[in-house]
Amino acid sequence: MDRVFIENLMVETVIGIFDWEREIRQSVSLDLEMEFDIRQAAASDAIEDTLDYKAVSKRLIHFIEQSEFQLVEALAEKCAAIVLDEFPVKRLKLKLSKPGAVRGSSAVGVIIERGADDLPS
């Protein structure tokens, strides 16, 4: 299956478990690989026939900016559910990073893979 990707989508949000983290906005970075058959779009050269990565990005930016999760795990799961529920994506791989969260590392986070069949009924 083909994959449409978004790489290093940086968004400011409230995220973290410590009191001081609940009072500031921090950056998170999102990488997405979304399974989508691009052949029809390649043949037609029409935006209507493809997965609109700009629309996906705008939807996730809006959601993440408004969210106030404690854990990156919870934020990642909700972002995956939004994409699978609202866009024509059958499976995705999502990496959610929190830069600077651990001294000595560039980022920490989670990588999840989910499919439409993983969504609650």
Please list the active-site residues. 98
Question: Any residues with CB less than 8 A from the CB of 46 and at least 6 apart, and which?
Answer: none
Residues forming beta bridges with residue 114, ordered by sequence position: 92
In degrees and rounded to multiples of 5, residue 89 shows phi and psi of -115, 130
Residue pair 106/99 in contact (Cβ under 8 Å)? The answer is yes
